[in-house]
Amino acid sequence: MALVDDRLTHDTGILFSEAMPGDYFALLKPRVMSLVVFTAFVGLVAAPVSLNPFITVISVLAIAVGAGASGALNMWYDADIDRLMGRTASRPIPSGRVAPGQALAFGLVLSALSVMMLGLVANWLAASLLAFTIFFYAVVYTMWLKRSTPQNIVIGGAAGAFPPMIGWAAATGAFGLESILLFLVIFLWTPPHFWALALFKQAEYGRAGIPMMPNVAGEASTRRQIFAYSLVTAAAGVAPAAFGFASVAYGIVATVLSLGLVWYAWKVMRMDASDRAMKPAKALFGYSLLYLFGIFGAYLVDVVVARIGG
């Protein structure tokens, strides 16, 4: 806080910020936003309706801005613990480039604008789900679950899983079973992804007082839970083909990708307790990102090919 005040006031008592536009863009968590954009786009395109391309692009943009806004609200609330962890200490608020109040205002304005835009461009069901997602991430996850339970990212993972459902709802005005399956893939994928990170960042999370699973239940229990969640994630990844929503070709690709996820999770479960480099956990973290993009990419290609062929 002292750093923020010094930089902003410059000993004058009057606010002059040195924040550049890029600092505000960083508040939107662009890397998380890229995942949201992609999964929401897949939800939109997979919906069995023909859409105006411009409406599709603006709908995805509105969902992306809404996700970014919730990221800004998260950074506003978490500034105190972000400064304690190496991974987050350089974010705009803890590094003193953006004042907390400015980040809060930025997040609130963008939340309202994105929901309004999606409502006007697509429909109010999609807009309501976007508003709920922002609320769920900023309030339920960030303000409540994150600091109070090791199930924080399990329940909070729903916020990251809603975008394909929002995309589907934006296209159709309803929730289809296909979009719920896409939701499940991300929802079940979240624990192995974040717990792999939590394993090799355990000390930082402990310093910040965040009750991540390895800090509360121990590494052995976390490694077993990672493997269990990877198994159900793999099942969810293949489910669109099993339910007949995707082709056999998708089923084969999803099976191969899912076997990879289970393999990496198995390596984590078998990791030696004395292994502090935790290469298997780092490998799983990296592969899990590829896995999600791979599953959604394969589903997108499958839908497009089926549409061209049909």
Partner 1 sequence: MEGRMSSEARVTPTDRQKKAQRARSIAIALSLIVFVVVMYIVTIVKMGPAILDRAL
**Of 10 and 207, which has the nearer Cβ to partner 1?**
10
Among 2, 16, 244, 309, binds partner 1 (CB under 8 A): 16
Collapsing DSSP to helix, strand or coil, 163 comes out as: helix
Closer by beta carbon to partner 1, 117 or else 199: 117
Position 121 contacts partner 1 (CB under 8 A): yes
Establish if 108 lies at the interface with partner 1 (CB under 8 A). Answer: no
- Give the pair of three-digit tokens for residue 78: 């978490």
Smallest distance, partner 1 to C-beta of residue 1, A? 19
Among residues 50 and 274, whose Cβ is nearest to partner 1? Answer: 50
Q: What ranges in 136-210 are assigned the alpha helix state H? A: 152-161, 163-172, 177-200, 202-208
CA distance from start to end of the chain: 59
In order of 110, 113, 160, 290, the CA distances from 64 in angstroms are: 10, 12, 12, 20
**In 3D, which of 100, 86, 40, 45 has the Cα closest to residue 64?**
40
Is 17 a binder of partner 1 (CB under 8 A)? yes
Part of the chain binding partner 1 (CB under 8 A), chosen from 15-23, 35-43, 198-206, 237-245: 15-23
18 binds partner 1 (CB under 8 A): yes
**Using rule CB under 8 A, residue 305 touches partner 1:** no
40 binds partner 1 (CB under 8 A): no
34 binds partner 1 (CB under 8 A): no
DSSP H stretches of helix in the chain:
2-9, 21-27, 30-46, 53-77, 79-82, 100-121, 124-135, 152-161, 163-172, 177-200, 202-208, 213-217, 219-242, 248-269, 279-309
> Out of 1, 5, 6, 10, which residue is the one contacting partner 1 (CB under 8 A)?
10
Torsion sign across C-alpha atoms 130, 122, 44, 173 = positive
C-beta of 135: minimal distance to partner 1 in Å? 23
Q: How far is the CB of 13 from partner 1 (least distance, A)?
A: 8
Distance CA 138, CA 132 (A): 10
Query: For partner 1, which is the closer residue by CB, 170 or 226?
Result: 170
- Can you give the binding site for partner 1, defined by CB under 8 A? 10, 12, 14, 16-21, 24, 52, 54-55, 58, 113, 117, 120-121
